[in-house]
Chains A and B, each alone.
Chain A
Amino acid sequence: MKPLHILILIMTITALLGATQALAATATANLSVSATVGSWARLDWPNPASLTFADSDPDNVSSIPASEGPVGVSAKARTGSSDMVTLTVTGTDLTSGGNTIAITNVSWTATGDFSSSGNITTGSQTVKSWTGPGTKRGNFSHALTNSWDYATGTYSGTVTYTLTAP
């Protein structure tokens, strides 16, 4: 190819590139986005939050289920991925006047994500623990051990479930 032809070719290519660049105009701007994700915990227990154990023949019904039946519970916790989340239970003895039925006669049975069972005590007991954020769901059932030894009366006490997340 002759030098003049090469020069013309270069001019043409340059003109084409310049024209192309002139055809497209662009502008940019940046926006920094941040999100603060903090710790939260919530234990959802359906209302009314009460347990009732009906009177029963101790010979025929050795363990009295709560009249309310299984209740659906959800535990929500937002925490660090390696942080421990714990659901515990504690209770007070059942009293009627000067008479007492030890709270250890009340038991829980949990299903679903909370799969566990045990007898409630006046100290804190772990129902279930897990690691990291999320929502756990399951049903809780309670029962009272029946006995000929109980003095008659209408007894009451308190059972407290506590969800703890750092």
Chain B
Amino acid sequence: MKVSPPFLTLIVLALMLWGVQPALAAVKVELGLSRGAINFPDADPDTTPSIPAAENPVLVTVKVSGNAGGDWRLTALASGDLVFGSHTIPISNVSWTAQPLPFIDGKLDKATPQVMASGTGNANSTGSLRLFFKNSWSYSTGNYSQVIIFTLSAP
């Protein structure tokens, strides 16, 4: 049976990829949060311009293995603004401080995932996040809510 050179190349490539897959599939990531929900309690806008979450801090555990030479990144993306019925409060009014490095401070966004931590290679880190809500006299009263999606990816 004659096999043309292009297809011979494909055969070799396929065999190589099948052989390499087990090694490539060794990249693993694990992401953990110390709690699944937080609440910002009501507060006087004059005396408490920035309201800390009652459950602060939230611990974030990041584990990356089999990622030699590859980048990894932890991001946070809000599923929308804070909502109560027909009323909304921009999610950008929620921010966080983080420590230690590589965890960094930031502000939530509903369109663009915000980087919380990043690095190269493997990782086994726990970050301490403190979330804050910017208080205001201009908000309509109500109980607002939203979901934040944390995503750990490598490479």
Contact = CB atoms under 8 A, between A and B. Distances in A.
Interface of A: 4-5, 8-9, 11-12, 15-16, 18-19, 22-40, 42, 76-81, 83, 132-135
Interface of B: 1, 3, 7, 10-11, 13-14, 17-18, 20-21, 24-33, 35-42, 44-46, 51, 53, 58, 64, 67, 78, 82, 84, 87, 89, 94, 131, 133, 136-155
B17 A33 contact: no
B141 A29 contact: no
Given A12-B14, A37-B139, A133-B139, A76 B133 contact: no
Given A15-B18, A34-B145, A81-B140, 17 more contacts: A15-B14, A19-B20, A24-B153, A24-B154, A29-B33, A30-B147, A31-B37, A31-B150, A32-B146, A33-B94, A33-B148, A36-B39, A38-B141, A42-B46, A78-B136, A78-B139, A133-B138
Given A22-B24, A25-B28, A36-B41, A8 B148 contact: no
Residue of A22, A25, A32 with most partner-chain B CB within 10 A: A25
B150 to A, nearest CB: 5
A78 B149 contact: no
18 contacts: A4-B3, A8-B14, A19-B17, A23-B24, A23-B27, A25-B154, A28-B151, A28-B152, A30-B147, A31-B148, A33-B78, A33-B131, A35-B143, A37-B139, A39-B141, A40-B44, A78-B137, A133-B139
Given A11-B14, A19-B17, A31-B150, A37 B31 contact: no
Contacts of A83: 141
Contacts of B18: 11, 15
Contacts of A79: 140-141
Contacts of A30: 36, 147-150
A36 to B, nearest CB: 4
A132 B140 CA distance: 7
